[in-house]
Amino acid sequence: MPYIISVILNILTSGLPCCLLALGIFITYRLLDFADLTAEGSFLIGGSFAIALIRLQVDPFLATLVATIGGALCGYLTSVFYTKLRIPKLLSGIITMTLTASIAMLILGMTKNGSIFTNNVTLSSSDYTIYSVFYYGDPMYRPLIKTGIMLGIVVLVFIVIYFFFGTEYGMAIRATGMNEEMGRAQGINTKRASIIALVVSNALIGLSGAMFCQDLRSCDIKVSSGFLVVGLASILIGESIFGKRSFKNRLISIGLGAIVYFIIITVAIELGFPTQLKNLLYAILIAIALSIPLIKLLISNAKKKKESKQYA
Amino acid sequence: MLELVNVTKTFNISGNKEDERTALDHINLQIEPGEFVTIIGGNGSGKSTTLNIVAGSLIPDSGKILLNGRDITKIPEYKRAAYFGRVFQDPMKGTAGDMSVLENMEVAFLRGRNHSPIKWGFKEKDKKFFIEELKRFDLGLEDRLNQKVGVMSGGQRQALTLLMATMRNKPTIKMMRRDYILFSGLPEEEARKEFDSFYDEKKLVLDEKLKTASSKEEKQRYKNEFEETIRNKFDLTKQILLLDEHTAALDPKTAKKVLELTDKIVRENQMTTLMVTHNMKDALTYGDRLIMFHLGHIILDVKGEEKKKLAVDDLLKMFEEADKKAESK
């Protein structure tokens, strides 16, 4: 297979699971206005559930489903901290994120005899993931099959989410996120709306973690570190490049944003950026993405100046 | 009828006894259906607190709020919303800025209903109704239906909020049953029995009629009649409009327009309305009853001819007298 195609497939296999991650973060961060730090926790829970269950010979699709539910439970936990115990948003997320690290160790520990917890599990070559179940024919085409499956799942989830937020309840959640006071005045149970948004968001992130770790064929309790930034950067890059005119447009922007993000990372690394300094690259990217509106403003101001000079 | 019985509310943010501030001191108030009440008073007199307590954003320390004789004091704000339309002082608060005019109206139209997670939120048949409503009150938004509310001016947002606060989809029979059981002060079992027995009785009549009906139109007419009978008996509450200084943040010209619109909507729908304002002239011009608050007490309550005779100077005088009295204490 030509080099360029394998690079593209590499970008897609890392980028597609992150589309779901970014979508999950979008629901809390943008729609609900809730900076939800649970994300890295539910990503880890998703990954560890999927890998541990597959190692225990559970059907990979069932394992992925359980991983998604695991993510949803993380979201529910955060929402309980926030709505029932009245812990501030940021701290509610941090508490869940912190406790997921221990839970992930316990879950991964189930796969090893004689120890209760472990940091790292790798699948053996006989274990089937949701991708390898479909590996037929020439091994050369495997990355292609994998990408196809990922794309299928991602597109399906995006369509479901689009329709969910177009329903009566979805609309209520969006209104709540934008203006909680208005939500209550319009008869929306705003607490329940935030709970459901958090659950849906973290379910998606759990699924994303499960897809990502099955691609790696391993799970480490450090696997999720840095992914909150990846998700945020995807949203910001997507919105600033592809716009945020309507809800449909925003969803497409986020999906494409995650892909663009990985294109940038891959190009930087191909050009010789040391992989050990990846986090530095992530930080620079997010700073640039956040300042794009300012850059756009400066450019348009400069244009106006030029024009006014011409007419003067 | 809306009643406040012995309502008291004290604010105490710091927790110290000396910082306590009584916003409402054993307030008793009865508001007749269809009455348009304007409420005035100085800062901290309790006028906004009254509105918040009626709407359910604040819970009184003691006392009760009755709606048609039903105690609603403990019913949460979002459940009361079916009966109360609200417009806030801040134009940003009443609408969702990132949603379009139509979406905002749809959210308002669903007020008091269960939000279905399956049914598509935006319905084409509602759109026609929304456009008619926008035209009826001449909001000039008919051509900007898909525009985000966030880019509109404060006056336009406030006018839209007003319209949203006053329209509501007709309740379904299921909703009426739920609300009757919830709001009827009667014991739950009794309320349910009353509703169900009335419903069954009328349903039998309907079934008889449907058998004799010949055409589809006739059947539909009988069904509508049936629903109307149920509605007349159980949907007792016409909506109540709560306006909290809703023109205070607008420039004088826009404020006047929004006020005139308010008056028009209230008169056309014969809504019970509580309008808090700090503009005494507006309080005298609009409405058919005027209430003045001072330090948590009602010091003036006039209606009809008596209200018409009042002038701004009279009100100012009363303010000053009340202030003097409070100081001499």
User: In angstroms, rounded to a whole number, what is the distance separating the alpha carbons of residues B29 and B177?
Assistant: 28
Does A200 reach chain B within 8 Å, measured CB to CB? no
What per-residue confidence (pLDDT) applies to A73?
Answer: 97
Within a domain: A210: yes
Q: Which of residues 265-304 of A touch B (CB under 8 A)?
A: none
User: If pLDDT is split at 50, 70 and 90, which confidence band does A310 have?
Assistant: low
ipTM of predicted assembly, 2 dp: 0.81
Q: Inform me whether the pLDDT recorded for B137 exceeds 80.
A: no
| Least Cα separation, residue A64 to chain B (angstroms) | 24
Q: Of A198, A196, A193, A158, nearest to A172 (Cα)?
A: A193
pLDDT over 70 for what percent of chain A? Answer: 98
Q: Do A181 and B103 touch (CB under 8 A)?
A: no
| Least Cα separation, residue B246 to chain A (angstroms) | 14
Q: Of A283, B284, B148, B209, nearest to B156 (Cα)?
A: B148
Interface test with A, best of B110, B122, B123, B167 (most A CBs within 10 A): B110
B83 vs A203, which has greater pLDDT? Answer: A203
Domain of A184 in residue numbering reads as 3-222
- Provide the residue count of chain B: 329
User: If pLDDT is split at 50, 70 and 90, which confidence band does B310 have?
Assistant: confident
Q: Inform me whether the pLDDT recorded for B236 exceeds 60.
A: no
- Provide the residue count of chain A: 312
Q: Inform me whether the pLDDT recorded for B268 exceeds 80.
A: yes
| Cα–Cα distances in angstroms (integers) from residue A200 to residues A28, A158, A160, A255, in the given order | 9, 12, 11, 17
Least confident of A34-38, A303-307, B206-210: A303-307
A95 Cβ neighbours under 8 A, 6+ residues apart: A78, A81, A87
Q: Do B92 and A179 touch (CB under 8 A)?
A: yes
Average pLDDT, chain A: 90
Within a domain: A265: no
- CB nearest to B97's CB, from A178, A184, A188: A178
| Least Cα separation, residue A304 to chain B (angstroms) | 22
| Least Cα separation, residue A265 to chain B (angstroms) | 32
Angle between the A190-216 and A60-79 helix axes, to the nearest 10 degrees?
Answer: 140
User: In angstroms, rounded to a whole number, what is the distance separating the alpha carbons of residues A67 and A62?
Assistant: 9
Single-letter amino acid, residue A106: L
Q: Inform me whether the pLDDT recorded for B175 exceeds 80.
A: no
| Cα–Cα distances in angstroms (integers) from residue B72 to residues A21, B108, B167, in the given order | 43, 22, 22
Q: Do A181 and B111 touch (CB under 8 A)?
A: no
What per-residue confidence (pLDDT) applies to A72?
Answer: 97
What per-residue confidence (pLDDT) applies to A197?
Answer: 95
Pairing relation of β-strands B84-87 and B240-244? Answer: parallel
Question: Which letter, b or e, does each residue of A92-111 get, where b requires 16 or more Cβ atoms within 10 Å of its Cβ?
Answer: bbbbbbeebbebbbebbbbb
Q: Which of the given ranges, A304-308, B95-99, B272-276, B305-309, has the highest pLDDT on average?
A: B272-276
Angle between the A247-270 and A142-164 helix axes, to the nearest 10 degrees?
Answer: 150
| Cα–Cα distances in angstroms (integers) from residue A160 to residues A164, A166, A172, A193, in the given order | 6, 10, 17, 18
Q: Tokens in use for A191?
A: 């607490």
Provide the whole-model pTM: 0.85
Does A174 reach chain B within 8 Å, measured CB to CB? yes
Q: Which of the given ranges, A6-15, A63-72, B7-16, B236-245, has the highest pLDDT on average?
A: A63-72
User: If pLDDT is split at 50, 70 and 90, which confidence band does A95 have?
Assistant: very high
Average the pLDDT over A109-135 and give the result. Answer: 86
What per-residue confidence (pLDDT) applies to B241?
Answer: 92
Q: Tokens in use for A243?
A: 């716009």
Chain B CB contacts of A244 under 8 Å are none
Does A250 reach chain B within 8 Å, measured CB to CB? no
Interface test with B, best of A26, A182, A194 (most B CBs within 10 A): A182
Least confident of A108-122, B82-96, B282-296: A108-122
Q: Which of residues 74-103 of B touch A (CB under 8 A)?
A: 76-79, 81-82, 84, 86, 88, 92-99, 103
- CB nearest to A168's CB, from B86, B94, B115: B115
Chain B CB contacts of A172 under 8 Å are 107, 110, 115
Q: Of B232, B238, B178, nearest to B202 (Cα)?
A: B232
User: pLDDT, tens digit, for every residue of B220-233?
Assistant: 888 888 888 887 77
B241: closest chain A residue by CA: A185
What per-residue confidence (pLDDT) applies to B224?
Answer: 83
Within a domain: A246: no
Domain count along chain A? 1
Pairing relation of β-strands B297-303 and B70-71? Answer: unpaired
Average the pLDDT over A29-36 and give the result. Answer: 89
Q: Do B78 and A188 touch (CB under 8 A)?
A: yes
User: In angstroms, rounded to a whole number, what is the distance separating the alpha carbons of residues A59 and A54?
Assistant: 7
B94 Cβ neighbours under 8 A, 6+ residues apart: A182, A185, B86, B87, B88, B157, B158, B160, B161, B164, B165
Within a domain: A279: no
Least confident of A145-159, A276-290, B294-308: A276-290
- DSSP labels for A163-185? HHTTBHHHHHHHHHHH-HHHHHH
B73 backbone dihedrals φ, ψ, rounded to 5°? -55, -40
What per-residue confidence (pLDDT) applies to B329?
Answer: 67
Average the pLDDT over A83-107 and give the result. Answer: 93
Q: Do B78 and A190 touch (CB under 8 A)?
A: yes
Chain B CB contacts of A197 under 8 Å are none
| Least Cα separation, residue B293 to chain A (angstroms) | 25
Chain A CB contacts of B120 under 8 Å are 163, 166-168
Within a domain: A307: no
Interface test with B, best of A33, A179, A189 (most B CBs within 10 A): A179
- What is the number of other CB atoms lying within 10 angstroms of the CB of residue A281? 16
Q: Inform me whether the pLDDT recorded for A244 exceeds 70.
A: yes
- Contact, A174 vs A195, CB < 8 A? no
Distance from the Cα of residue B64 to its chain's centroid: 18
Number of cross-chain residue pairs from A and B with Cβ atoms under 8 Å apart: 93
- Contact, A146 vs A131, CB < 8 A? yes
Average the pLDDT over B304-317 and give the result. Answer: 85
Domain segments of chain B as ranges? 2-170+236-328, 173-234
Q: Which of residues 130-189 of B touch A (CB under 8 A)?
A: 164-165
Does A248 reach chain B within 8 Å, measured CB to CB? no
| Least Cα separation, residue A47 to chain B (angstroms) | 28
What per-residue confidence (pLDDT) applies to B291?
Answer: 92
| Least Cα separation, residue B168 to chain A (angstroms) | 10
Q: What is the third-level CATH fold of B2-170+236-328? A: Rossmann fold (3.40.50)
Chain B CB contacts of A184 under 8 Å are 57, 77-78, 81
Average the pLDDT over B28-39 and give the result. Answer: 91
A188: closest chain B residue by CA: B78
B6 Cβ neighbours under 8 A, 6+ residues apart: B26, B27, B28, B62, B63, B64
Chain B CB contacts of A185 under 8 Å are 55, 77, 81, 84, 86, 88, 94, 165
Name the DSSP class of B186. S
Average pLDDT, chain B: 85
